[in-house]
Amino acid sequence: MKSNVETKKRSGPVVFSEYQRSEGIKKALQLGRENILFELKISGLKGRGGAGFPTATKWMLTAAANANKKFIVCNADEGEPGTFKDRVLLLEYPELVFDGIVIAGFTIGAASGIIYLRGEYEYMLQPLEDYLAEMRKDNLLGKNILGKENFNFDISIRLGSGAYVCGEETALIESLEGFRGEPRNRPPYPVDTGYLGYPTVVNNVETLASVSHIVLKGGEWFKKHGTSKSTGSKLFSVSGDCEKPGVYELPWGIKIKELLEIVEAKNTKAVQVGGASGTCIAKSQFDRILGYEDAATGGSIIIFNENRDMLKVLKNFMEFFIEESCGQCTPCRIGNIKLMEGIIKIENGDFTFSYINNLKELGKTMQVASKCGLGQSSPNSFISILENFSEEILHTNGKGKENVKA
């Protein structure tokens, strides 16, 4: 894959900026653990997998944990609908990702790294293995890496089995251990009790790719991009009703309407920020910015134009969650079914507003009482679409609106 340099037509301020293989590792070995953590802290990097947890904190907790084994896991499960930026990184910029994993291993004191690769990305397995083989040949993996005494580290790739929930870090760990992919109770968190019970860092592909740049170019350099609360830039996977769908690197803090211009979206009615588990933003709010402080996203941007039926959009999302819920906890296992029943009632015009309000309340319970992020975020689209498009869905649309009871 080294050879496809010529296919790299991408450029961007941070992630897609200049980088040569192993540069980050070399710099990391020079800097030493403390300085790496320091640069990370300065950079303000937050997890790119969706939850936005500060990466420096995660690494510090793991580095500080007292254990004879530690692990770094790269989360390449990329299952959020409308997300495909990790695929681009792995295919076109493997050096960023793998160097990031090695740096993480060095910093937290792990001897092995694991990539949990989405089942559907099986076609990448061979090229990635080849890439790893090359790294081993060049002593970027293996014993005493680049002459650094006692820094022994290797990376293995594990294929996921096609469940969205396995992208949730603790379910991912269960899956790695050979169990049903069900999220664990937290606390304890993986930084303390992770893979096989050992302290484990789980990071998104893009997070690790960003690390390589930060280590090489410094936290201050990274921080120059984005906003004060959302530093750096972000890869957005843009899909839906626009002329130029694809992966874009844009600084955090960009307004939704600016993004829509870049991707040449016309007659846009709504933007789903953050995939199925994100929120649906209506036209009137297109001044909002993308960033942890406002509309957060792991990268997925789905655009809907005026011709879309928002109830259908919502139904699609709910179908996804019903399909993907692991089913262990009550709010998510049954709650999503109830929300869906509500949607069908709306479709049939056979609903009362008080029932819909009950369901929204149920959605709020699901947000706070579900065991993992899936059930906690599955009502987001239900709540936001019904609130932002209540005119369209509850009052003016639907074949049976005359049956609506007040």
Partner 1 sequence: MSKRENIRIPVSQQPFTVIQPEDTTTIGGTVSVQINEKKISVPLGMTILEACRQNQIHIPTLCHHPDLCIAGVCRICVVDVEGMRTLQTACSFPITTPIKIHTSTPMVRKARRHIIDLLLSEHYGECYSCFRNGNCELQSLAKEYGVDGYTFGHIDKPRYKVDHSSAAVVRDMSKCILCKRCVRTCIDLQEVGVLEAINRGHDTHIGTFLDKPLADVICINCGQCINRCPTAALRANDPSDEIWEAIDNPKKHVIIQTAPSPRAAIGEEFGIEAGHSFTGELNTALRRIGFDKVFDTNFTADLTIMEEGTELLNRLRKVIIDNDSSVKLPQFTSCSPGWIKFIEHFYPEYLDYLSTAKSPQQMFGALMKTFYAKQAGIDPADIVTVALMPCSAKKFECNRPEMKASGFKDIDYGLTTREMAKMIREAGIYLPEMPKSNFDEPFGDASGAGLIFGATGGVMEAALRTVYEIVTGREVPFKNLAIEPCRGFAGVKQASVKLDGCVEQYNFLEGVELKFVVAHGTANAKKVMEMLRKGELSDVHFVEIMACPGGCLGGGGQPIPTNAEIRRKRAQAIYAEDESLPVRKSHENPHIKYIYENFLTEGPCGKLSHKLLHTHYTKRGKFIS
Ligand X SMILES: Cc1cc2nc3c(=O)[nH]c(=O)nc-3n(C[C@H](O)[C@H](O)[C@H](O)COP(=O)(O)O)c2cc1C
Q: Which amino acid is located at 355 in the chain?
A: Y
Residues in CB range of 27: below 8 A, 6 or more apart = 215, 216
Residue 211 DSSP symbol: H
> Residue 196 burial (CB < 10 Å; 0-12/13-18/19+)?
exposed
Is residue 279 at the binding interface for partner 1, with CB under 8 A as the rule? Answer: no
Is residue 202 at the binding interface for ligand X, with CB under 6 A as the rule? Answer: yes
CB 149, min distance to partner 1, A: 28
CA 19 to chain CA centroid, Å, is: 23
Is residue 51 at the binding interface for ligand X, with CB under 6 A as the rule? Answer: yes
Is residue 268 at the binding interface for ligand X, with CB under 6 A as the rule? Answer: no
CB 334, min distance to partner 1, A: 4
Phi, psi angle pair for 127, to nearest 5°: -55, -40
Q: Are 110 and 153 in contact (CB under 8 A)?
A: yes
154-183 binders of ligand SF4 (CB under 6 A) = 165, 183
CB 327, min distance to ligand X, A: 13
CA 180 to chain CA centroid, Å, is: 21
Among partner 1, ligand SF4, ligand X, none, the one that 274 touches (CB under a kind-dependent 5 to 8 A) is none
- For tokens 């509850």, what's the residue? 394
163-192 binders of partner 1 (CB under 8 A) = 163, 165, 170, 174, 177, 179-180, 182, 184-188, 192
Task: Closer to ligand X by CB, 144 or 156: give it.
Answer: 156
Residue 1: name the closest of 91, 76, 87, 88 by CA.
Answer: 91
Task: Closer to ligand SF4 by CB, 186 or 395: give it.
Answer: 186
Q: What is the number of helices (H) and of strands (E) in the chain? A: 15, 9
CB 279, min distance to ligand X, A: 15
Among partner 1, ligand X, ligand SF4, none, the one that 193 touches (CB under a kind-dependent 5 to 8 A) is partner 1
Is residue 333 at the binding interface for ligand SF4, with CB under 6 A as the rule? Answer: yes
Is residue 105 at the binding interface for ligand SF4, with CB under 6 A as the rule? Answer: no
Query: Among the candidate windows 22-30, 232-240, 326-334, 394-402, which touches ligand SF4 by CB under 6 A?
Result: 326-334
Residues in CB range of 320: below 8 A, 6 or more apart = 81, 164, 276
Residue 11: name the closest of 235, 290, 244, 230 by CA.
Answer: 235
Strand 233-240, strand 246-251: pairing:
antiparallel
Among 210, 239, 272, 325, the residue binding partner 1 under the rule CB under 8 A is 325
Q: Which amino acid is located at 149 in the chain?
A: E
Q: Which residues of this chain interact with ligand SF4, rule CB under 6 A?
A: 165, 183, 325-329, 332-333, 370-372, 374-375
Q: Which residues of this chain interact with partner 1, rule CB under 8 A?
A: 65-67, 163, 165, 170, 174, 177, 179-180, 182, 184-188, 192-193, 196-199, 322-331, 333-338, 341, 358, 361-362, 365, 367-371, 376
